[in-house]
């Protein structure tokens, strides 16, 4: 049974934005959400046993080398004890290898899977899941259409080109409150407006030469050198040196979170991206790490940039000390 008591609760939860890392830009420059993210949202909100997807028809156009699938998404309404259904078509085109005239058998199977995935996402959007993608509330700065602007955004926000190969998603400002509540990083329309129309100021890290001698370990290596108060997520990532205060935990969106202390003794909640979440689980309280990220002084969240985190000095595991 799902954990919500009314259809309004369900609708609100299904319609919530996804974390920034779950949005992507395809080769055509369109914003998309992965099928896995859609499945996880349905499982989380409805419960694994309270929804199902069934392909009803499979149409193959051999001339166009395309596959079309009509699928039905069924959601169990706990309040009324009945199934609610939504139907949509999903489509995909078979890939033909260079110097070949016909698709391979594997290409046909891949097209069927992609068409079914497309149908799932379209059906789910009818009940609110990733409806922002299909209603064009999100936009993108793409590499193919605007290389200079794309490069400027990558450099300004410290993004890895490989992670944003086709483009960078731009979120509506209406998402800011929700993102701040969750401690998530995002690039919003107002950030882009400020960057290109108001001018981007140079961030100053204030990091200084705070490296301790190689012999220092644990808490003794955490000196109170001068450090910047952060950049509230709008400038390039700022270097920070922090001491871990609590054991990191993996959050529902795959990121990791732990409490830490800046060099000016300010307490923050550090959010580590999915790529480094498992690595962060090795941190024990007292570990000193260096990272680059964005500090929101209002919420106290410090979001780490992708691959921008390293251990300076380890603290012993309290269970083995």
Sign of CA dihedral 52, 57, 58, 61: negative
**According to the model, what pLDDT value does residue 207 have?**
28
**According to the model, what pLDDT value does residue 321 have?**
47
Other beta carbons within 10 angstroms of residue 97's beta carbon come to: 10
Report whether 18 contacts 40 (CB < 8 A).
no
Q: What is the pTM of this model?
A: 0.63
**According to the model, what pLDDT value does residue 104 have?**
83
Question: Can you tell me whether residue 111 is helix, strand or coil?
Answer: helix
**According to the model, what pLDDT value does residue 120 have?**
97
- pLDDT by 10s per residue, the chain, length 321: 344 445 557 878 899 999 999 999 998 999 999 999 999 999 999 999 999 999 999 999 988 889 999 999 999 988 788 899 999 999 999 988 887 778 888 888 999 999 999 999 999 999 999 989 988 889 999 998 888 899 999 988 888 888 899 999 999 999 999 998 888 889 999 999 888 876 544 433 322 333 333 333 444 445 444 344 444 444 567 899 999 999 999 887 778 899 999 988 889 989 888 888 888 899 999 999 999 888 887 778 888 876 678 888 887 666 554
**According to the model, what pLDDT value does residue 180 have?**
87
* Nearest alpha-carbon partner for 185 in 84, 271, 292, 297: 271
Q: 1-137 maps to which CATH number?
A: 3.30.390.80
| Domain formed by 218-313, architecture | Beta Barrel (2.40)
Report whether 209 contacts 290 (CB < 8 A).
no
State CA 136 to chain mean position distance.
Answer: 18
**According to the model, what pLDDT value does residue 130 have?**
93
Cα 128–Cα 192–Cα 155 angle in degrees, nearest 5:
110
Report whether 217 contacts 136 (CB < 8 A).
no
* Nearest alpha-carbon partner for 156 in 92, 84, 233, 225: 233
**According to the model, what pLDDT value does residue 317 have?**
66
Domain ranges within the chain, ordered by starting residue:
1-137, 139-200, 218-313
């Amino acid at each position: 049974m799902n954990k919500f008591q009314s259809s309004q609760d369900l609708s609100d939860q299904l319609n919530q934005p996804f974390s920034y890392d779950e949005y992507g830009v395809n080769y055509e420059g369109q914003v998309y959400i992965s099928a896995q993210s859609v499945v996880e949202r349905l499982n989380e909100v409805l419960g694994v046993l309270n929804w199902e997807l069934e392909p009803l028809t499979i149409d193959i156009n051999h001339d166009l080398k395309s596959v079309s699938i009509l699928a039905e998404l069924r959601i169990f309404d706990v309040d009324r004890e009945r199934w609610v259904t939504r139907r949509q078509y999903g489509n995909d085109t078979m890939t033909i290898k260079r110097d070949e005239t016909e698709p391979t058998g594997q290409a046909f199977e891949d097209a069927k899977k992609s068409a079914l995935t497309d149908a799932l996402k379209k059906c789910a959007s009818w009940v609110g899941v990733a409806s922002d993608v299909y209603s064009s509330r999100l936009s993108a700065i793409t590499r193919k259409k605007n290389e200079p602007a794309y490069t400027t955004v990558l450099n300004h926000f410290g993004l890895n080109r490989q992670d944003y190969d086709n483009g960078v998603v731009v979120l509506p400002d209406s998402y800011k409150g929700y993102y701040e509540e969750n401690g998530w990083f995002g690039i919003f329309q107002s950030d882009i407006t400020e960057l290109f129309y108001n001018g981007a100021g140079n961030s100053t890290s204030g990091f200084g030469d705070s490296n301790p001698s190689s012999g220092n370990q644990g808490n003794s290596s955490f000196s109170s050198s001068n450090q910047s108060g952060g950049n509230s997520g709008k400038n390039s990532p700022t270097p920070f040196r922090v001491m871990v205060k609590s054991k990191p935990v993996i959050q529902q969106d795959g990121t990791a979170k732990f409490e830490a202390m800046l060099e000016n003794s300010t307490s923050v909640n550090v959010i580590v991206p999915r790529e480094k979440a498992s690595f962060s689980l090795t941190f024990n309280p007292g570990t000193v790490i260096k990272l680059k990220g964005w500090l929101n002084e209002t919420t106290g969240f410090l979001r780490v940039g992708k691959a921008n985190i390293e251990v300076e000095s380890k603290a012993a595991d309290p269970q083995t000390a």
